[in-house]
Amino acid sequence: MGHIMTHLTDFLWKRPEWPSFYWSNSALTELLVQTRFIQGQLLALPSSFVHSYEMSDTKKHLYEDLLTASSADATALTDERLRGWQASLYPTGYAGVRKVRVGEFRDQNLLNLKTEFLPPELLKEEIPKYLTWWKEAPAALDPVLRSGLAFFWFYLLSPFEAGNLEIAAALAELSLQENEKTSLRYYDIAIQLEENRDEIERLMQASHQENGDITTWMQFYLQLYLEAVQASFAIADKDFSVERFWARHSELNLNARQRQILNSMLLGESEMTNRRYVELCETSRESAKRDLAELVKLGLLQIGNKKGRSVSYSLANLIKA
Q: For each of the chain's 321 residues, which pLDDT tens digit applies? A: 333 333 334 678 888 878 889 999 999 999 999 998 887 776 666 655 555 444 445 455 566 665 555 554 544 789 998 999 899 889 899 888 889 999 999 998 887 656 677 889 999 999 999 999 999 988 889 999 999 999 999 999 999 999 999 999 989 988 888 777 655 566 778 888 988 999 999 998 888 877 889 999 999 999 999 998 888 776 666 666 777 788 787 888 899 999 998 888 887 788 899 999 999 999 999 999 999 999 999 889 999 877 766 789 998 875 554
To the question of pTM greater than 0.75 for the whole model, the response is: no
Closest CA to 208 of 165, 130, 253, 156: 156
Residue 149 identity (one-letter amino acid)? L
Closest CA to 217 of 133, 112, 145: 145
Q: What structural domains and CATH numbers belong to the chain?
A: 12-237 (1.10.3290.10), 254-320 (1.10.10.10)
Cβ pair 258, 281 in contact under 8 A: no
Q: What is the pLDDT of residue 4?
A: 33
Residue 109 identity (one-letter amino acid)? N
Residue 199 identity (one-letter amino acid)? E
Q: What is the pLDDT of residue 155?
A: 94
Report the C-alpha gap between 206 and 158 in whole angstroms: 16
Neighbouring C-beta atoms of residue 295, cutoff 10 Å: 23
Neighbouring C-beta atoms of residue 22, cutoff 10 Å: 14
DSSP 309: G
